[in-house]
Structure 1
């Protein structure tokens, strides 16, 4: 499973958005069915930013759905079409 850990860049909004954009485009073309983005647990603000990014209309076209990993709010799973 492909994963993107946002811990190293969590303070830079621009880097976070660029990393997520590149990761999702790569994942969409990789053939992976599900990938994970790891914002970590913390205060939940980074996870909220990840979800807000994923909910943008032009980004939603890339994937099928997203959800918190069962039992781990520090991971966001992104599902792609088969």
Structure 2
């Protein structure tokens, strides 16, 4: 199963770059018809996770994917599933 992996550790405090990276990942997954995008936001205090979830809740982004799964074994990671 092919999936796209994006790690936000390096840009955790750069808002525009975070949004650009997430937007790019979602766009590439839709274009390449990938079933899943793995987003690594890290554990920390949860601020980056909140930002990622807020980004994914935007209506124009939400219509592109099927569901978001929080990893039960690793709280520093999310999976975005697509139905093509």
TM-score w.r.t. length of structure 2: 0.92
Count of equivalent residues: 82
Q: RMSD of the alignment, in Å?
A: 0.9
Query: Who is 2:73 aligned against?
Result: 71
Deviations 1:27-75 (A, max 9, x none): 1111211111110111111001000000111100110011211211101
Query: Who is 1:14 aligned against?
Result: 16
Runs ≥4 in structure 1, deviation > 4 angstroms?
none
TM-score w.r.t. length of structure 1: 0.94
**Structure 1 stretches of 5 or more lacking a match?**
none
**Structure 2 stretches of 5 or more lacking a match?**
none
